[in-house]
Amino acid sequence: MGKSNTSPEYLIEAINRTDVGMIVIDSERRILFINDWIKIHATVEGAVEDKFIHEVFPDLPPRLNKAMEKALSLRRAAILSNKLNPAPFPFYRDKQSLTERTLISQVVKIKPINVTEQFCLIEIIDISESVNRETALHQLASEAQLKAEQIEAQEKRIRGIFESVKDAIIIVDAGGSIQMFNHTANELLNSASTSLSNINLHQFLKDKNKPLSDENGGVNQMAAMLPLWAKYADSIELEVTPSGQDGSFFAELSVSTVELSEQRHFVVVLRDITERKQYEQQLETMAKFDELTSLPNRTLLMDRIQSAIGRAKRFDNNVAILFLDLDRFKIINDTLGHDIGDKLLQSVSTRLNEGIRDLDTVARLGGDEFVILLENLEHKEHAARVAEKIVTLFEPAFDIDGHQLFVTGSLGIATYPESGETAYDLIKCADTAMYAVKDSSRNNYMFFSEKMNENAKKRLELEAELRIAVKKAQFSIVLQPQLSPDKKILHGAEVLVRWYHPTKGFISPVDFIPIAEDSGFIEQIFDSVLGQACEFLANYKHVLPQHFRMGVNISPRQFISDTFTQRFMAVLTRYQLDTHFFELELTEGMLMKRTDETISLLRTLVDKGFVISIDDFGTGYSSLAYLTRFPLHTLKIDRSFIVDLPNDEEAALVCKSIIGLAKNLGLNLIAEGVETEQQNQFLAAENCDVIQGYYFAKPMPVDEFLVWLDAFNAESL
């Protein structure tokens, strides 16, 4: 080697032809030899032999310099790997890579050579191909890895959604065999521990209570149904039976088609709707049944009546509606409490249900009102037999929490087609008939008649007119004097109300007072009457006798009102009148209810200075024991006893007894409706204190009364 160049020519040629670059340097780092590879790939111009290597390649890295140093001084071999030293020498493959400044990727091996003196061989191996290949592979690998990571992340996300939804998601193949399912699906369908995979979905489903079993071709049915469901149904409600379980639940399924691995699959989303179903059922029950008694309510009753009417039309038979209202139920509720009242209603429901045919319906409209619907009746008289039976059903006492309660009912009966053609009409007619029973006797039944309807209509009309009358103050007072039988002393006058209707004229209190009482207008009417009476007193008390007293009728409704006394007193204050001007006329019926409370109320009134009298005495029921306990002042003998005096012995006897009773109890007596002289004489003879009636004077408007008073005063002078 070197300048001496004694080597054979072939050896030089071989070295020049290798694909490895070779540089030999001496211990002073002068280049002794480079092969053709170096000449081809280096950019160095001219001869390099004998030049220092750092002159030819001025920018060699320190690592290479150090390796050469070690090889020369310590005879150490070294390798410079490409990754740590990508291109220690400035070698280029060709012109193009030179212009692009793309260096050859190299591995450099430094080998000490000890021949005559210490030399060093530097081998440069072109590994550009390997580097490119590895770079490409690495890039591919990282791309693939990135892709895999993305897919994994996406799958994780989708899986997360898939698993976290509260609906069961099941993917089945075209035949219904389960391929994939989420956690919820497993929970809903799989109480056994076996996997759902490859089980056919039909095994869980029931349609209209029929399981889609293998025997009835469940698999085929499934394969046929799935595409139809997917195409035409938004959702299907089915019963689902989980594996390993007898019970089932209601589910809503929605099915859609999906292509997986180029094959048709179905995504079945299954939702447990048990709760919703229960809720719906509850709502339906609430809408159709009465909560307290579980009987059908008005809505369901109307439905049933309507269908019954339909059937009756087709089969030409009868339908009857029995409207039942318990008599005096309110008293039980008021005195024993709603709890007992509710329990009584429940017991009544039970008795009613037991007493009728299965085909008939007992419904509760509310309160103490029940309706019994009887269908398919051959004769409408049959309804009367049922009504009778219901009346007898109430005969035994109801035992409610130890209270023996006797309840009766009033029944109104309406029949199709006679009473009406619609459910609404039938109920209305039965209701009217029921009221007719209440008005007459109670504890009885009555068929609806047109007359009832007319009465009811009249009543309604009157009620409407009362409303207007109250507003327009169409009420006025009349006064009927109360005198001693010898007509010498004017004790007072009873205040009576008159309603002058603008078109109908005078309307009798007998007709409108009960309606006013029911509708609550009585209070406004009373206020008006009392106001007018007070005005009269305020204006004319100077011409009236000192002990003059006005008799005022108190209605039951007012009497039980908590504010009665307070309101009365307020009016008196307004007119600056004393209570002793007033005699409050009550009926026996009012006194005999809630006697303890009544006594205390009466005491309050008497303490305030009012005088209490019993009106229409003898027509109601009075307990004599109570009579002694009430702070009463006067008894008013009812006109019905006076009218037959004096010839009717019985009437005379009753009057004498009442007068005797009053005397014995120290009570005053007023006889009402005295029309004849004989009657007056009789009463005078029996020491009756006060006479009221046409015999002395009819009830008169205020101005007329004043004229009468003038005459009376003149006469007594």
Partner 1 sequence: MQLSELQIDYIKELFNVGLGEAIVELNDMINEEILMSVPSFDLFEKNAIFSKLQIESSRNVTAVVLPIQGEMECNGILLFPAQHSLNLVRKVLKETSGADTLTALEVESLTEISSIILDAIITSISDMMHVSISTAMPMAYSGTFQDLVDKYYVGDTVMSVGMHFEIKDSQVRGDILFVQDILVIEDFLEKTNQMLSELGL
Q: What is the Cα–Cα distance from 643 to 481, expressed in whole angstroms?
A: 18
Report which of 417, 413, 455 is spatially closest to residue 433, judged by C-alpha positions: 413
CB of 25 to partner 1, least distance (A): 17
CB of 141 to partner 1, least distance (A): 7
Of the candidates 41, 57, 82, 363, which one interacts with partner 1 according to CB under 8 A?
Answer: 82
Of the candidates 40, 47, 79, 148, which one interacts with partner 1 according to CB under 8 A?
Answer: 79
Report which of 286, 311, 310 is spatially closest to residue 299, judged by C-alpha positions: 286
CB of 106 to partner 1, least distance (A): 11
Size of the site for partner 1 (CB under 8 A): 30
Of the candidates 63, 93, 487, 567, which one interacts with partner 1 according to CB under 8 A?
Answer: 63
CA atoms within 13 Å, Cβ hemisphere of 433: 27
Q: What is the DSSP letter of 85?
A: S
User: Which amino acid is located at 494 in the chain?
Assistant: E
User: Which amino acid is located at 527 in the chain?
Assistant: D
CB of 120 to partner 1, least distance (A): 12
Q: What is the Cα–Cα distance from 485 to 391, expressed in whole angstroms?
A: 51
Nearer to partner 1, 62 or 247 (CB): 62
| 410 contacts partner 1 (rule: CB under 8 A) | no
Q: What is the Cα–Cα distance from 194 to 377, expressed in whole angstroms?
A: 61
Alpha-carbon torsion 244, 249, 250, 252, what sign? negative
Distances in Å between the Cα of 320 and the Cα atoms of 66, 195, 231, 559 are 122, 61, 51, 40
Of the candidates 3, 9, 43, 83, which one interacts with partner 1 according to CB under 8 A?
Answer: 83
CA angle 649, 652, 653 (to 5 degrees): 85
Q: Which range of residues in 76-84, 280-288, 360-368, 502-510 is near partner 1 by CB under 8 A? A: 76-84
| 128 contacts partner 1 (rule: CB under 8 A) | no
Nearer to partner 1, 133 or 451 (CB): 133
- B/e letters for 621-635, b = 16+ CB within 10 Å, e = fewer, are ebeeeebeebebbbb
Q: Which range of residues in 73-81, 233-241, 272-280, 401-409 is near partner 1 by CB under 8 A? A: 73-81
| 75 contacts partner 1 (rule: CB under 8 A) | yes
Contact between 675 and 682 under an 8 Å Cβ cutoff? The reply is no
Of the candidates 47, 141, 192, 685, which one interacts with partner 1 according to CB under 8 A?
Answer: 141
Q: Which range of residues in 130-138, 170-178, 562-570, 652-660 is near partner 1 by CB under 8 A? A: 130-138
Alpha helices in 21-127 (DSSP H): 36-41, 53-56, 62-74, 95-99
Q: What is the Cα–Cα distance from 552 to 533, expressed in whole angstroms?
A: 9
Beta strand pairing status for 700-701 and 318-326? unpaired
Q: State the binding string over 18-57 for partner 1 (x if CB under 8 A, else -).
A: ----------------------------------------
SS3 256: strand
CB of 132 to partner 1, least distance (A): 11
| 109 contacts partner 1 (rule: CB under 8 A) | yes
> DSSP secondary structure string, 268-303?
EEEEE-HHHHHHHHHHHHHHHB-TTT--B-HHHHHH
Q: Which range of residues in 138-146, 152-160, 303-311, 565-573 is near partner 1 by CB under 8 A? A: 138-146
| 622 contacts partner 1 (rule: CB under 8 A) | no
Report which of 459, 469, 561 is spatially closest to residue 515, judged by C-alpha positions: 459
SS3 325: strand
Alpha helices in 478-549 (DSSP H): 509-519, 522-540
Q: Which range of residues in 33-41, 59-67, 348-356, 532-540 is near partner 1 by CB under 8 A? A: 59-67
Q: What is the Cα–Cα distance from 64 to 60, expressed in whole angstroms?
A: 7
End-to-end CA distance of the chain: 183
Of the candidates 77, 158, 707, 711, which one interacts with partner 1 according to CB under 8 A?
Answer: 77
Q: State the binding string over 346-385 for partner 1 (x if CB under 8 A, else -).
A: ----------------------------------------
Nearer to partner 1, 112 or 485 (CB): 112
Nearer to partner 1, 138 or 488 (CB): 138
Report which of 551, 681, 663, 569 is spatially closest to residue 616, judged by C-alpha positions: 551
CB of 85 to partner 1, least distance (A): 8
| 134 contacts partner 1 (rule: CB under 8 A) | yes
Q: Which range of residues in 69-77, 281-289, 301-309, 410-418 is near partner 1 by CB under 8 A? A: 69-77
| 84 contacts partner 1 (rule: CB under 8 A) | yes
- Kindly give, in sequence order, each residue whose CB lies less than 8 Å from that of residue 246, ignoring residues fewer than 6 positions away: none
Nearer to partner 1, 115 or 510 (CB): 115
Of the candidates 29, 30, 111, 351, which one interacts with partner 1 according to CB under 8 A?
Answer: 111
| 174 contacts partner 1 (rule: CB under 8 A) | no
CB of 35 to partner 1, least distance (A): 19
Of the candidates 98, 127, 571, 652, which one interacts with partner 1 according to CB under 8 A?
Answer: 127
Q: Which range of residues in 68-76, 172-180, 224-232, 343-351 is near partner 1 by CB under 8 A? A: 68-76
Report which of 321, 329, 358, 323 is spatially closest to residue 345, judged by C-alpha positions: 329
Of the candidates 46, 62, 247, 505, which one interacts with partner 1 according to CB under 8 A?
Answer: 62
Adjacent-strand bridge partners of 325: 369, 410
CB of 190 to partner 1, least distance (A): 39
Max alpha carbon distance in the chain (Å)?
A: 189
Q: Which range of residues in 7-15, 79-87, 303-311, 592-600 is near partner 1 by CB under 8 A? A: 79-87
CB of 150 to partner 1, least distance (A): 15
| 66 contacts partner 1 (rule: CB under 8 A) | yes
Q: What is the Cα–Cα distance from 512 to 647, expressed in whole angstroms?
A: 34
Q: Footprint of partner 1 on this chain (CB under 8 A)?
A: 62-63, 66, 70, 74-85, 107, 109, 111-112, 114, 127, 130-131, 134, 137-138, 141-142, 145
